[in-house]
Amino acid sequence: MGRLFGTDGVRGIANKELTPELAFNLGKAGAAVLSRDGKRPVFVIGRDTRLSGDMLENALTAGILAVGGHVIKVGVIPTPAVAYLVRRYGADAGVVISASHNPYEYNGIKFFNGEGFKLDDKIEEKIESIILAGIDSNMHQTGEAIGKCLDAGEDAHALYIEFLAGTFEGNMEGMKIVLDCANGAAYETAPTVFRTLGAEVITIGCEPDGININDNIGSTHPEKLQQAVVDNNADLGLAYDGDADRLIVVDENGEIIDGDKTICICAKMLKDEGKLNNNLVTATVMSNIGFHKFVKEKIGAEVEVTGVGDRYVLESMLETGCVIGGEQSGHIIFLNHTTTGDGTLSSLQFVKAVQKSGKKPSELASEIEIFPQVLVNAKVANENKNDYLKDKEIQEYIAEIEDEMKGSGRVLIRPSGTEPLVRVMIEGADTEKISRLAQELADRISEKYM
């Protein structure tokens, strides 16, 4: 068995790769590692709407209880809600059972620490090493030492909704908003928040049946949302993924506003309010060159660049004190409000930016020039995926391409984490030109390293 934890917890096909046995062992090992000072650890567990959620929740709970930990089950609720509730309840850890934007047959388990942050690599490695080594962390508790499920005493959904509403100033009276909840975890909480704030809300993707989560709907499939916004003459549309930690916006014309543009619009609002801490915005290497130009030229701020993945964005933000960062995919972190990406919270901040600007979403989005991006996969032998980094000829050719684009484009190459591929991305103003250059560079890499 290889490494269990990926970039966002443990994932796999439910009952095949992510089995009840593995969930049980994750519960035992997680409780053993995360217990502090010999005290019983308390875990908050939430899940999305997948059919396999009940099975994995009960197996995971059994593992935690067997080691003597206690569990607070909060049911179907967004991932970021668990990060918030861990802090609210004073729990030791949180666990979310979700595979985010993946199809329903997949599921996942990811942990948060007592401060609401995802576990760092070292702690995940401790949990993983216990399981892979076949160590029995059960400790064979008996009698009163066995854990139990606790009643939180307060309604988890109501607490989370109250928290979200508290991040928004004013109200949304007179606004018509379409919400696409991907038949996922936000199907109850997100509409309630927006209605509480006075918006007229039209919903799609709010009828989960256990197997329709992310099924041609949600942030990765916004086509239905785009049509619904136009059909209903709405002010804007907001789409989440299955666990509601991502946001994709649709403007009043049915056009998509991606994560890069959303971050730019919200960062400008923060700058205008004097809240853009350290005059800094955080993004990954995949963010568009137009993003960088807008942040530097229109906002007058700097961009801190990280590797791909929200955990790396967060790590950088914690180091620099930056309060806003994220990815093109719509995973956006507002560190002045919460500890992880939150699609609903991000959408509230976007609406706030629209209201404060006095402009329509399309007008705000048009201020950010997004350059075309072309991605070509270079097939290579798996053991050669990183060799291009030391190849003088390849590096010189990349420099020639960037020189040819004269500051109006860039080249980004990175090896695939799962396939024998090197991904070649070129960005620039001329689509035909960058397509040709990307293919030529990919061909060179394949010829040398296949």
Q: What is the largest CA-CA distance in the chain?
A: 73
SS3 20: helix
29 is written with which tokens?
């090992």
DSSP 149: B
CA distance 222 to 9: 26
Q: Is 100 a catalytic residue?
A: yes
CA 425, chain centre distance (Å) = 22
The two three-digit tokens of residue 315, written as one number: 């790590």
Catalytic pick from 100, 287, 329, 446? 100
CA distance 334 to 241: 18
SS3 339: coil
C-alpha closest to that of 177 among 247, 93, 252, 267: 252
299 contacts 291 by C-beta, under 8 angstroms:
no
Cβ count near 17 (within 10 Å)? 12
Task: State whether residue 259 is helix, strand or coil.
Answer: helix
What's the CA gap between 68 and 318, in Å, rounded? Answer: 33
CB 447 within 8 A of CB 431: no
Residue type, 285: V
Q: What tokens appear for 94 in the block?
A: 């949180």
Q: Are strands 421-428 and 409-415 parallel, antiparallel or unpaired?
A: antiparallel
d(CA 42, CA 135): 22
* Pairwise CA distance, residues 308 & 325, whole Å: 12
d(CA 155, CA 369): 44
d(CA 42, CA 68): 9
What secondary structure letter does DSSP report for 390?
Answer: G
Q: How far apart are CA 41 and CA 118, in angstroms?
A: 17
Measured between alpha carbons, how far is 48 from 296 in angstroms, rounded to an integer?
A: 38
Catalytic residue set: 100
